[in-house]
Structure 1
Amino acid sequence: MEIPPRAADGEPGVAAPDEYETVDLGVLVVGAGAAGARTAVELVEQGVDPEEILVIGKRGHGDAHTTWARGGINGALGTHDPEDDWTVHAADTLKEGHFLNDPGKVETVTERMPGLLRELDDWGMAFSRTDDGEPDQRYFGAQSFRRTAFAGDHTGESLLNTLVERAQGLSVPYRENVFISRLLTEGGRALGAAGYDMDTGEYVVFDAETVVLAAGGYTSLYRRHSSRDDENTGDGPALAYLAGARLMDVEFVQFHPTGMVGDRYGEEWDGRLVTEAVRGEGGRLFNAEGERFMERYSPDQMELDARDVVARAIAREVREGRGTENGGVYLDISHREREFIQERLPRMYERFADLGVDMAEEPVEVAPTAHYGMGGVRVDDEGETDIDGLYAIGETMAGVHGANRLGGNSLAETIAFGQVTGQAVARRLADDAGGSDDEAPESDRLHDRARHHFADLGRLAGSDGSHEPEALLDELRELLWEHAGLLRTEAGLAAGLEELQELRRKASDLAVGGPTSKSFEYALDLGFGLVVAEALLRGAQERTESRGAHARTDYPGTDPDWKRNIVVERGSVGGMRLTTESVGTPSEAVQEALDADHELDYHQLE
């Protein structure tokens, strides 16, 4: 997005570019959800002085998207199914990702998770329990065994509370309501970051030896999505890309089968997630004609087949006229006892009760909703990007999920790579403890870049153009929903790219209400969103096959030659350049688990 060429210095409420706060530290963690919190905890446990760390968030402390992950967190504990182990978990993850995952990253997550779940248990996480006191585990879609540990249906909230309490006990510093708008680099090395205090409008420079991006994904760029509108707008991937890092797999967007839909819920709840735990506890899907339609699409795994399979089945039912008036289907768990639903799904039960729906007596109306971006920043085995000293983890990174994410793996990834990256950064800081001779010149370059960026922010904050940023964000969401949604075509993707160019033109002529206004935040969100949307559209256009969450109706088959990752980088003249990379091979142990071909049988639930 081009910053409008209007002078802002001296305008009321707009700071001059050389008026800013400077914060010196060893590690800046951008994002205060589970990934960022777990990284900070690991840093301290590895001996890093808490005063060298700062975790920043765009919202209040403890208010992060992690709390919206309700259904569970995967780890092969075997509390119900002792034959499960981490290699089977890895095999399930690779199969669900249609073998576009990075096998090394998958094995990093799955091998660590049993121990990390035990660690969370030791830290006091409020897991639901088996009769003998072990963390309980439930089925999730496409999992061979019951391996999704949970805390009722508020697992993410309980997880984040546990991590925040742990971090506070270790005196990890935290700063809320700060928006990072630019990463500052020099010669392929991270110098720090620049942003502003969202309460005061004051600029802030973070002079950091390392930066960890844990800033979420990009599914709020769709009209129907399971996030809050001001989260998951592509900040992390866009910040990294604009700083010179590469993106990967951005075309793969998971549409969760069961988002809320229907007039009775109201616009506020449209697209919000109805957790997979409802189906994991036996919930059934019916079309408007009362048919349990998954029998047609997946008679063995039924409602617990892979998310892409169930989402496309719902879309087909609606497209062929068997959906509800609101374009959805029904999810029914009323055959379960009321006490069971209240115990296992307390948040869902309470939410729908507040909306006048008794889940113990009647079904709820659902339809697919944009839920998770499998793509993100391309990183190495420790989470480091192409930029020296810049790391990306959680939904900001790519590699673990491939073409489709296994339910319950998002929280698992945040915890596992929080630990991995925390350990790597701690080693790095220890190795660099002696300092270097060019610290002063690096600091000069950091501040020079920051002042240029703040001048741009000042122009943006003072712009009085023709278009409201929030309205353009809504246009972008509609564009991606229509042209890069659940079903895609060459014509639709090409039209989306054309419309994106027009949207960019409008975005150069914004009306912004000053640095503390919501419109200023939306303007920055829009700039990030335009970057990620282009990468998504171009990647989807390039991938002439259907695989996992990427469904091309003009290329319905999966092409073995497309078992490659699409990588996006900045071209020499500013445009996007797309290349492909081969996928690695799993370890011998995981290959044995793949060859064993374990698979969930839904009818074990009945």
Structure 2
Amino acid sequence: MEYTEYTCDVLVIGSGGAGCKCSIVASKNGQDVIMVSKGLTFKSGCTMLAEGGYNAVFGYVDEADSMQLHILDTLKGGAFLNDLKLVHDLVVESPKMLIELESYGCLFDRQDDGRLNQRAFGGQTCRRTCFKGDQSGHEMMLGLKEEIIREGVKTHSEIMITKLLFDENHTKIVGAMGIRLADSSIVVYHSKATVIASGGCGWLYPVTSNAVQKTGDGIVIAYEAGADMMDMEMVQFHPTGMVAPESRRGVLITEAVRGEGGHLINTEGERFMKNYDSREELATRDIVARSIYTEIQEGRGTEDGGVYLSVTHLPKEQVQTKLRTMVHQFKDVGVDILNEPMVVAPTAHHFMGGIRISRTCESNIENLFAAGEATSGVHGANRLGGNALADTQVFGNIAGIESSKRAKETELENPDEEEINSEINRINTLWTKGTYNPEDIKIEIREIMWKYVAIVRDEKGLKQAQTELTNLEEKAKDMNVQDYKEYNNDLINALEVISMIKLAKLIVKSALLRKESRGAHYRIDYPEKNDAEYLKSFVLNKNGDVTTIQRGLFDD
């Protein structure tokens, strides 16, 4: 069977913050790197869309800040489900990685004395979030892109990786394969080490802040290869996404709006967060999202299903300089946020679950590494705003170092040819005149997840989701994929549907196992946290095993 082949030392799947950082570090360590992106390189990840900032302990605004406080805030925010060692690495390495970003050319906002400025963010004891107005992720990607170019890293855009490849003895990963979106041709990569940095899965839901490519493909190919999945029930809903117009529904309204002093107000004119948490608008995201949900459900929301977020009481200069993107984002739809409130509602935002990694970013599969949102453990049951951008750089750096070490001590090996042929046959069998449109099945998946597996859950709904997802699996065997090669959306959607159903079922399975409420996982049939039985992470594997890892302040 015909296919195009590429060879490298380190293959990086994903071109967002974690993928770029990993590629840069691996290249600086003398490795030949190829960075593959499902969308346009640098533009299709969620880092580019991130607005609020990057958490790092400098103490430039609040001198009392410390590594210990950042660790404790992260653990409290994650409801103590975090991997303590990963949290330690995040906090300790984060400041160093921000300084490296500045060496690439990133420019973060300064105070009058020239030191970095830092703002307040939800769930944090001190002001430690470094930022570039409300364009922090965009600024990071500009610097990372420049460094990628300087390093001469090879980048491949619009290639959807569909399978990881084992060696002939089926003991370790020796590459990956997928399809080129432009012409549906098969591409095979041979590598000594492979890193998954493909991000999360926001598009399992109909309302999301994520880039359109984020359907969880990288997580699923790791699962199919036998990688352990952990904390799969933990899906974060950002409290504030746009509500209208429909074409903008779910688009992120940065936490920086509340960090700068924005107020959440219901239709009765009440600043309602004081009824839910003493930190008010700067409570953790899980609490703010559920509070907004409750206000809407109890009839104190707007007609279009939101609440108000207002900055009209703030100085206009502050809003125009610190929240410039928000001003233009709403001006584009006819809303002047200087003089009128925004309407907001929760939106699927970040996946705390994913591939279980060690401190060296390696999975339980030899030669397979992972970094960024595709991984689990760092953020526990709920991520603090500002920790994600730090996560991309800290663990992208570690993945770059460790994958380089592995590549230096490893010889290229041939993949199992039967695996390649099997995957080509799987893709080819999708070119059929079936009954169901793949896009319609996608919509059904999202509706199921939104109805039963979103902000509020219960056993009845989760079991109904299982049943309906199993029914969709049968439909997915009879999809209609038109027979043309150039940018065939039917084929891309069909491949995504198969992955999305698998991932959705893992989320539901893990949500049923956790019979308590913790962080982003809230069950109305078990509304309280239960440390005695559930201060532990659930680990799922393709072999059907379910294991647990005890959590808390003193895990081993």
Aligning the two structures, in what range does the TM-score lie when normalised by the shorter sequence? over 0.9
Q: Any conservation in 1 of the 2:245–2:333 contact (CA below 8 Å)?
A: no
Q: Give the C-alpha shift of residue 429 in structure 1.
A: 2.1
Code of the residue aligned with 1:150 in structure 2: it is: F
Equivalent of residue 271 in structure 1, options 231, 244, 250: 250
After superposition, the C-alpha distances for 1:323-381 in whole angstroms (9 at most, x for unaligned) are 11111100000111222111001111101011110010000000111111100001111
* Map of 1:209 onto structure 2: 192
Instruction: Note the 1:270-289 alignment, pairs <5 A.
Output: 270-289=249-268
* Map of 2:498 onto structure 1: 527
After superposition, the C-alpha distances for 1:69-115 in whole angstroms (9 at most, x for unaligned) are 11101111111012212221111101100000000001111100111
Matched, 1:29 2:8: no
Matched, 1:539 2:510: yes
Q: Give the C-alpha shift of residue 135 in structure 1.
A: 2.0
Code of the residue aligned with 1:271 in structure 2: it is: G
Matched, 1:391 2:361: no
SS in structure 2 of the partner of residue 508 of structure 1: helix
Equivalent of residue 582 in structure 1, options 540, 546, 550: 550
* Map of 1:235 onto structure 2: 217
Code of the residue aligned with 1:285 in structure 2: it is: L
In the aligned structure 1, how far is the partner of 2:70 from the partner of 2:554? 13
* Map of 1:247 onto structure 2: 229
Instruction: Note the 1:177-196 alignment, pairs <5 A.
Output: 177-186=158-167, 187-196=170-179
Matched, 1:46 2:18: no
After superposition, the C-alpha distances for 1:51-76 in whole angstroms (9 at most, x for unaligned) are x2100111222212211111101111
Q: Any conservation in 2 of the 1:287–1:329 contact (CA below 8 Å)?
A: yes
* Map of 1:499 onto structure 2: 468
Runs of 4+ in 1 over 6 A off after TM superposition: none
How has the CA–CA distance of structure 1 residues 581 and 311 changed in structure 2, closer, same or farther, with 3 Å as cutoff?
A: same
Q: Any conservation in 1 of the 2:12–2:23 contact (CA below 8 Å)?
A: yes
Structure 1: 5+ residue runs without aligned partners? 1-17, 589-606
In the aligned structure 1, how far is the partner of 2:267 from the partner of 2:554? 43
Instruction: Note the 1:320-331 alignment, pairs <5 A.
Output: 320-331=298-309
* Map of 1:10 onto structure 2: none
SS in structure 1 of the partner of residue 464 of structure 2: helix
Q: Give the C-alpha shift of residue 580 in structure 1.
A: 1.6
Moved more, 179-188 or 445-454: 445-454
* Map of 1:366 onto structure 2: 344
Matched, 1:567 2:528: no
Code of the residue aligned with 2:339 in structure 1: it is: E
Q: Any conservation in 1 of the 2:163–2:423 contact (CA below 8 Å)?
A: yes
In the aligned structure 1, how far is the partner of 2:26 from the partner of 2:72? 30
Q: Give the C-alpha shift of residue 47 in structure 1.
A: 2.9
In the aligned structure 2, how far is the partner of 1:132 from the partner of 1:521? 51
Equivalent of residue 328 in structure 2, options 334, 350, 355: 350
Normalising by structure 1, we get a TM-score of 0.89
After superposition, the C-alpha distances for 1:128-187 in whole angstroms (9 at most, x for unaligned) are 111112221100000111111111111111101111101111111111111101111242
Q: Give the C-alpha shift of residue 587 in structure 1.
A: 9.5
Matched, 1:548 2:519: yes
Q: Give the C-alpha shift of residue 123 in structure 1.
A: 2.2
Q: Give the C-alpha shift of residue 585 in structure 1.
A: 4.0
Q: Give the C-alpha shift of residue 584 in structure 1.
A: 6.2
Code of the residue aligned with 2:269 in structure 1: it is: G
Task: Please give the root-mean-square deviation of Cα atoms over the aligned residues, in Å.
Answer: 1.4
* Map of 1:114 onto structure 2: 95
Code of the residue aligned with 2:497 in structure 1: it is: L
In the aligned structure 2, how far is the partner of 1:156 from the partner of 1:373? 18
Structure 2: 5+ residue runs without aligned partners? none
Equivalent of residue 198 in structure 1, options 166, 169, 181: 181
Q: Give the C-alpha shift of residue 41 in structure 1.
A: 0.9
Equivalent of residue 144 in structure 2, options 139, 163, 168: 163
Code of the residue aligned with 1:291 in structure 2: it is: E
* Map of 1:466 onto structure 2: 435
Normalising by structure 2, we get a TM-score of 0.97
In the aligned structure 1, how far is the partner of 2:399 from the partner of 2:528? 37
Code of the residue aligned with 2:374 in structure 1: it is: T
Aligned length: 550
Q: Any conservation in 1 of the 2:10–2:34 contact (CA below 8 Å)?
A: yes
Code of the residue aligned with 1:254 in structure 2: it is: Q
Matched, 1:453 2:423: yes
Q: Any conservation in 2 of the 1:87–1:111 contact (CA below 8 Å)?
A: no
Q: Any conservation in 2 of the 1:56–1:176 contact (CA below 8 Å)?
A: yes
SS in structure 1 of the partner of residue 526 of structure 2: coil
Q: Any conservation in 2 of the 1:104–1:586 contact (CA below 8 Å)?
A: no
Matched, 1:294 2:273: yes
In the aligned structure 1, how far is the partner of 2:266 from the partner of 2:186? 53
* Map of 2:378 onto structure 1: 400
Equivalent of residue 316 in structure 2, options 338, 363, 368: 338
In the aligned structure 2, how far is the partner of 1:328 from the partner of 1:350? 20
SS in structure 1 of the partner of residue 376 of structure 2: coil
In the aligned structure 1, how far is the partner of 2:177 from the partner of 2:407? 21
Q: Any conservation in 2 of the 1:192–1:446 contact (CA below 8 Å)?
A: no
In the aligned structure 2, how far is the partner of 1:273 from the partner of 1:144? 24
Q: Give the C-alpha shift of residue 583 in structure 1.
A: 2.2
Matched, 1:62 2:33: no
Q: Give the C-alpha shift of residue 458 in structure 1.
A: 1.2
SS in structure 2 of the partner of residue 194 of structure 1: strand
Q: Any conservation in 2 of the 1:383–1:393 contact (CA below 8 Å)?
A: yes
Q: Give the C-alpha shift of residue 44 in structure 1.
A: 2.0
In the aligned structure 1, how far is the partner of 2:222 from the partner of 2:103? 35
In the aligned structure 1, how far is the partner of 2:97 from the partner of 2:162? 33
Code of the residue aligned with 1:451 in structure 2: it is: N
After superposition, the C-alpha distances for 1:357-409 in whole angstroms (9 at most, x for unaligned) are 00100000001111111000011111111110011110000010100001111
Q: Any conservation in 1 of the 2:80–2:553 contact (CA below 8 Å)?
A: no
Code of the residue aligned with 2:179 in structure 1: it is: Y
After superposition, the C-alpha distances for 1:270-310 in whole angstroms (9 at most, x for unaligned) are 11110000000000000011111111112x31100011111
Code of the residue aligned with 1:252 in structure 2: it is: M
SS in structure 2 of the partner of residue 39 of structure 1: helix
Q: Give the C-alpha shift of residue 34 in structure 1.
A: 0.6
In the aligned structure 2, how far is the partner of 1:37 from the partner of 1:586? 34
Q: Any conservation in 1 of the 2:535–2:551 contact (CA below 8 Å)?
A: yes
SS in structure 2 of the partner of residue 570 of structure 1: coil
In the aligned structure 2, how far is the partner of 1:172 from the partner of 1:541? 43
* Map of 1:15 onto structure 2: none
* Map of 1:594 onto structure 2: none
Code of the residue aligned with 1:471 in structure 2: it is: D
* Map of 2:292 onto structure 1: 314
In the aligned structure 1, how far is the partner of 2:242 from the partner of 2:326? 11
Code of the residue aligned with 1:270 in structure 2: it is: R
Code of the residue aligned with 1:569 in structure 2: it is: N
